[in-house]
Amino acid sequence: MALGTQGWAYADWVGTMYDAGTRPDRFLRAYAREFGTVEVDSTWYGTPPLERVRAWRAAVPRAFTFALKLPREITHERRLIGCAELLDEFVASALAFESQLEGALVQLPPDFTPDAIDALLAFVVRLREGIRWTVEVRDPAWFGEPLPRLRDALGARGIALAVTDGTFVPLDTMLAQLESPTAEHAYLRWLGVRDAVTKYDKVIFDRSDRLRRWARAVKIAAPRLRRVSGYVNNHYAGHSPAVVRAFYAELGIPHEVPPRIEQTSLF
């Protein structure tokens, strides 16, 4: 299992995640001292050039992995239509991560409804094999009548259906999908409520009960999975590194927090 956060460049984490005085250009290196994977938010804004991929890879241990969001031009602007060239560009960049590529997330917008299922099914058959792909749908209607058709299409290609704790789909519905995966990998996301948190230095929402439910579902699904990755947004509880640590504890998986260097007083 590989657990991490959505993004690593948070100055509010200094003292709780990074040593005092850590420069922003060293955040990724410091983050990788504790966690083994990260979901990269910036790829949603555009495919990273190869020199940026090389810089990210050079900053972390070889076992560290990156999960990449498909660019919004593909998912939100073109809505999976007429984007073959953009997809090829993204795949080329993703493959440059080599063994450090955790997977790729096709994050669809909330208004991408089952009316667009034909576009989605035509898109997933074009996804390159050899990458752990995941599709996230947010309209609750997907989990009604269209669900068998969606699951069959994803399962035929070994594509995971993202399991998300947010405001879009009830948690019970999501955990049922986790317990019956469509692929040999699972992709978990803890999102919370956007703008519910403005400073990310401490936990302000107690998610203990929900994390216990997540842990039970992961244990049920585990015999059918070869890989599980999960990513926490700061809005979920206020401080995503703390949620990752708590979830490792719920699963009974040892997790070591590196000692932090604190700012000393001059007086």
261 confidence band (pLDDT: 50, 70, 90):
confident
- Sorted by where each starts, the structural domains of the chain and their CATH numbers stand as 2-251 (3.20.20.410)
- pLDDT tens-place string over residues 183-216: 999 999 999 998 889 999 999 999 999 999 999 9
Nearest of 117, 194, 189, 193 to residue 160 by alpha carbon: 189
- pLDDT tens-place string over residues 22-44: 999 999 999 999 999 999 999 99
- pLDDT tens-place string over residues 206-254: 999 999 999 999 999 999 999 999 999 999 999 999 999 999 999 999 9
Element (H, E) at 160: strand 160-161
Please report, as a single letter, which amino acid is at residue 197: V
Rounded to an integer, what distance in angstroms lies between the CA atom of residue 31 and that of residue 27? 6
Rounded to an integer, what distance in angstroms lies between the CA atom of residue 37 and that of residue 34? 10
Over residues 42-68, mean pLDDT = 98
Q: What is this structure's pTM?
A: 0.96
Rounded to an integer, what distance in angstroms lies between the CA atom of residue 112 and that of residue 79? 8
